[in-house]
Amino acid sequence: MIPRFLYSLETLRMKPALFVLCLLSTSAAFAQYVGGASYISNEPQIYQFASHPAHASYAPMSQEQNVLAATTYSTAQGERPASDFPHADGVSLGAAARELRQQHAQLKKSPIVWVNQ
């Protein structure tokens, strides 16, 4: 006799999925037990990589190559003072707050105010 709570729709969907999961796990474990003993040895495998002795040997430096498209190239050294560069005048914090307060006052207000209690 099967209890009533086992007849729900979720249980009917879960039983085959659980059965398939158990079946796959059992077959994987059995394959490792039977097939693995005859094919895998416990001796370590040492890999030999190909050697490249000329990779780090001496070679003369190559010629300089110009990557610019036929233009003259000039460089300079030194530092320029910050006063040489243009910068925007900053807005004071008080002026920014007054501007935001004016924009907020001009916004359209909602005609209905909901209060949840």
List, for residues 65-88, the tens digit of each pLDDT value: 777 666 666 677 778 877 888 887
pTM here is 0.27
Indicate whether 101 pLDDT > 80. yes
Share of the chain above pLDDT 90, in %: 19
Q: Spell 87-105 as b/e; 16+ CB within 10 A means b.
A: eeeeeeeeeeeeeeeeeee
Residue 70 has what DSSP assignment?
A: S
Token output for 87: 């910068």
Question: For 8-57, what is each residue's pLDDT tens digit?
Answer: 767 777 888 899 999 999 998 888 777 655 566 677 778 877 776 666 66
